[in-house]
Amino acid sequence: MAGRRSGVAEPGSGRGRARGRRGVSRSAEAARFDAVRLRPGEDLRQALEARFARSGAAAGAVIACAGSLTRAVLRYADRDEGTEVPGPLEIVSLSGTLSPDGPHLHLAVSDRDGAMRGGHLLAGCEVRTTAEVVLWLGGDMVFAREPDEVTGARELVVTRPG
């Protein structure tokens, strides 16, 4: 209807609440990205935890990762202990969240025959040639891990202060 005004702006119009340049929300503008190349011998999980801690962000996520490992240490579903997967291995996928309370990261790797394994990324995953990682760092969100009464595990809690 011509002339009708609502509280919702047209996408990309730049009009409406909480919009900045080109219709991007202010919270999206506050978010930032980081990229790092990890070198041979570095521990993938420990390096990501340290990088996130140095960033000062209260929330983060792995956006992309490509590289290789000498070995992986994965925790499979419904198991308490980790399992070492000997390499050489290609990193097929790495995804998950980063918080000041600790990460929740899943890794998928393939061996020289293309057989895949995946699970929770644990310490001990040694970079073979490279690991190129892109991180999203939180904007106005805060990620925390708190005990969940249903699962019994420390699960993600997302808040937006203010």
Read off the CATH number of the domain in which 111 is found.
3.30.1330.80
Give a yes or no: residue 3 inside a domain.
no
* Confidence at residue 34, expressed as pLDDT on a 0 to 100 scale: 96
Q: Which two tokens stand for residue 156?
A: 């993600």
* Confidence at residue 89, expressed as pLDDT on a 0 to 100 scale: 98
Q: Which domain holds residue 69?
A: 38-159
Provide the number of structural domains found in the chain. Answer: 1
* Confidence at residue 158, expressed as pLDDT on a 0 to 100 scale: 95
Give a yes or no: residue 9 inside a domain.
no
Among 4-8, 38-42, 157-161, where is mean pLDDT lowest?
4-8
Which of 76, 153, 149, 138 lies closest to 108, judged by CA? 76
The C-alpha atoms of residue 5 and residue 12 are separated, in whole angstroms, by 16
Give a yes or no: residue 68 inside a domain.
yes
Is the omega angle on the peptide bond into residue 88 within 30 degrees of 0, that is, cis?
yes
Give a yes or no: residue 32 inside a domain.
no
pLDDT at 107 over 90: yes
Which of 145, 139, 135, 105 lies closest to 123, judged by CA? 105
Give a yes or no: residue 150 inside a domain.
yes
The residues pairing with 91 across neighbouring beta strands, listed in sequence order, are: 67, 109
Q: 53-104, pLDDT tens digit by residue?
A: 999 999 999 999 999 999 999 999 999 999 999 999 999 999 999 999 999 9
* Confidence at residue 140, expressed as pLDDT on a 0 to 100 scale: 87
Give a yes or no: residue 7 inside a domain.
no
Give a yes or no: residue 130 inside a domain.
yes
* Confidence at residue 5, expressed as pLDDT on a 0 to 100 scale: 34
Give a yes or no: residue 84 inside a domain.
yes
The C-alpha atoms of residue 125 and residue 84 are separated, in whole angstroms, by 9
Q: Which residues contact 33 (CB under 8 A, 6 or more apart)?
A: 63, 134, 135, 136, 137
State mean pLDDT over 23-50. Answer: 83
Q: Which two tokens stand for residue 58?
A: 């209260």
DSSP for 125-149, written as a single string: -EEEEEEEEEEEE-TT-EEEEEE-T
